Amino acid sequence: MKNNKFLLYPLVLLSLFGSSIIGYGQTQLRIEGGHLVQSGGSQMVLQNAEFINNGTFESTLGTVVMMGDGSDAQSAIGGDSLSTFYNLQINKSANGAQLQQNIQINNELVMTSGTLDLNGDTITLESVNGNIVNESESSRVIGPSGGMIQKTVTLNAPSNENPGNMGVSISSSQDLGSTLIQRAHPAQGLNGGNSIERSFTIAPTNNGDLGATLRFYYLDAELNSNTESDLGPWRQDSAFWYNPASANLDATNNYVQVDSIDFFSRWTLAASAPKLELNVLLAGPYDSSSGEMTDDLRSTDLVPTTEPYTALSYDYPASGGGEQIDARILVQTGSNAIVDWVFVELRSSADVSTVIAARAALLQKDGDVVDLDGRSNLSFPEIATTETPLISIRHRNHIGILAASTVDLSNGTPVLDFSTDPSLVEGGAAALLDFGDGNYGLISGDFDGDGQVQNTDRNALTSNLGTSGYLPGDIDLNGQVQNTDLQIKLTPNLGRGAQFSY
C-alpha cells in the first residue's frame, strides 16, 4: 500500500491539535463541519491520537491506522458523525483503541495489535466487502459494556459462509435472503451461569425450515472462566435461553457446531446443562391406530406460545416458568409435531415432595419430551450435574407420574421411556393406562389437575360441554369439550390417581 499524504478539499475545516497528522501525545484529528477526504490508497497514522469527526469523512481506498501505547481513550474514534473507513487498522504497541461513535468499514478492519473496544457503539461492515482481518487472541474486538459488529449479507444456499469473517459460519440448502448478523461481547447470565464473552444474533429474511448448520467460532480469551471442554451451544428465541442438544465442539479450531437448525435466533456458548431424553404418552389424545398422539391443538393453532402451567399455579422453583416458543416450531408435522405442553420436575430422592427444578416442555406426537426448539432433549440449565433426582412428568388434565428410580445427571443424557416400560414408574402399571398395544400412557380426565380423577372433574367437564378452545375439559386435546371427553376419556378413570399423590 502506498503511503501518500492525504488530501484536503478546499471546504475542509480541519483542526489538528498537534503538529502533524502523525500526532504524538494527547492529540486529536478533528473534522469540524467540513469534509476530510482521504484519497487513493493513502495511509493516515494516528499515534496516540483521537479521530473526532463532527463533519464528513470520506476514504475511497485509504487506511487509517491507530498506533501508539496510550490508553484506549487516547486512541478513540468519536465525534457527532458516523465515520466510514475504507480500511481501519488497529496496531497499538500497548493498550487498544475504543469507539465513541458508530463507524462503518467498507473494506477491512485489520486487527494487528491491541484490542478495539466497541464501548457500546456499533461497527457496520459493508455488506459486500466489509470484513475483519487477522483477529487473534491478542488483537480482537471486545465489548464488555455493549455494542456490536454487524453485517447484512445475502445468503442463498450458503456453504460454510462466514460473513465478514465475523466468526459464525452458516450452511443451508435454502435461500435465507438478506440476513442480518450481529456479534456482541457482554457475557450472558444464563440461569445462574455465565456464557463466554461472545454472542451472535442471526436474522434471515427467510427464517424457517432451514435445515441449517452453524459453526460458532470463539477465542480462548473470551472463555470467561468457562472450561473449554464443557462448552455447548445456547440459544434464545424469546426471553429464555436454552441448551439444544446435538452439538460438536472442536477445541483445536475453536468452534462449536450445531446441526439441524430450523430457524436462527440468538446464540452463545456456555457450559452444557444436564439433559434428559424422555418419552411419555397422554391417554387423552392417544390414537391406538397410529400408536401416537393426535396433534389437533397444533393444527388448529390452539397450542399457546407461552407455557400454560404458571397460569394454572404449578410451582416452579429456581428460575423456571414463563417458557415461550417461537411459533415457527408449530409448523412441524408428522411424528415430531407438537401435541401440547407438559410439566417436568426433578424431585429430591430423599423427599419426593421437594421439587429441585421444574420446566415446561413440549410433547411430540411420538411421545418425545423436547425443549423449546421443538426437537432437542430437554435441558435443565440451573441444575448441577451432581444431582440424582427422581423425574416426574405432569400434564394439565392428566394424572402425573413419578419415576421409580433416580437418574444420574453426571452420566451423559439419561433415557427414560415411560411409554413402553411401566416398571420405570412409581406404582408400576397401575399408575398408567394400558393401551393394550404395548404402549402405556398418563391417565386422562383430571380436569382440575389435582392428581386424581374425581366427580368434581366430571361435574366441571359436564358444565363445559360444547365449548371450544385450549380448555381443561378438552381431555382428548382436539380443541372441543365433548361427550367423547366425558364418556371415553374421563368417566372410565374415575377414582384413579388418589394412591399416587406426592
The residue of the chain with the least Cβ separation from Ca ion equals 368
HEC profile of 33-59? CCEEEECCCCEEEEECEEEEECCEEEE
Q: Which residues pair with 67 in a beta bridge?
A: 47, 91
Q: Which residues pair with 282 in a beta bridge?
A: 442
DSSP track, 279-325: E--BTTTEETTTTEE--HHHHTT-S-SB-STTTTT----TT----B-
Residue among 364 and 439 whose Cβ is closer to Ca ion: 364
Residue among 38 and 480 whose Cβ is closer to Ca ion: 480
Residue among 387 and 474 whose Cβ is closer to Ca ion: 474
**Minimum separation from the CB atom of position 301 to Ca ion (A):** 16
Dist. CA 265–CA 278, nearest whole Å: 25
**Minimum separation from the CB atom of position 232 to Ca ion (A):** 21
**Minimum separation from the CB atom of position 337 to Ca ion (A):** 9
C-alpha cell at 449: 389437575
**Minimum separation from the CB atom of position 194 to Ca ion (A):** 32
Residue among 364 and 379 whose Cβ is closer to Ca ion: 364
Residue among 25 and 334 whose Cβ is closer to Ca ion: 334
CA distances (Å), 233 to each of 273, 302, 344, in order? 10, 30, 22
**Minimum separation from the CB atom of position 110 to Ca ion (A):** 48
261-274: b (≥16 Cβ within 10 Å) or e: bbbbbbbbbbbbbb
Residue among 20 and 333 whose Cβ is closer to Ca ion: 333
- Cα-Cα-Cα-Cα torsion 326, 328, 331, 333, nearest 10 degrees, comes to -70
Residue among 237 and 485 whose Cβ is closer to Ca ion: 485
Q: Are strands 122-125 and 97-99 parallel, antiparallel or unpaired?
A: unpaired
> Which sign, positive or negative, has the C-alpha torsion 119, 124, 129, 131?
positive
Residue among 220 and 417 whose Cβ is closer to Ca ion: 417
**Minimum separation from the CB atom of position 246 to Ca ion (A):** 13
**Minimum separation from the CB atom of position 476 to Ca ion (A):** 4
Q: Are strands 212-217 and 168-171 parallel, antiparallel or unpaired?
A: antiparallel
Residue among 291 and 322 whose Cβ is closer to Ca ion: 291
- Cα-Cα-Cα-Cα torsion 208, 213, 219, 223, nearest 10 degrees, comes to 70
**Minimum separation from the CB atom of position 441 to Ca ion (A):** 16
Dist. CA 431–CA 426, nearest whole Å: 7
Please name the residue ranges forming H helices in 348-432: none
Residue among 307 and 476 whose Cβ is closer to Ca ion: 476
Residue among 371 and 485 whose Cβ is closer to Ca ion: 485
**Minimum separation from the CB atom of position 463 to Ca ion (A):** 15
> Residue 100 burial (CB < 10 Å; 0-12/13-18/19+)?
middle
> Residue 296 burial (CB < 10 Å; 0-12/13-18/19+)?
middle
Dist. CA 62–CA 53, nearest whole Å: 16
Dist. CA 170–CA 293, nearest whole Å: 35
**Minimum separation from the CB atom of position 330 to Ca ion (A):** 15
**Minimum separation from the CB atom of position 419 to Ca ion (A):** 11
Name the residues that contact Ca ion, by CB under 5 A: 336, 364, 366, 368, 446, 448, 450, 452, 457, 474, 476, 478, 480, 485
Strands (E) across 187-265 are located at: 189-190, 193-194, 199-204, 212-217, 231-236, 241-242, 247-250, 255-261
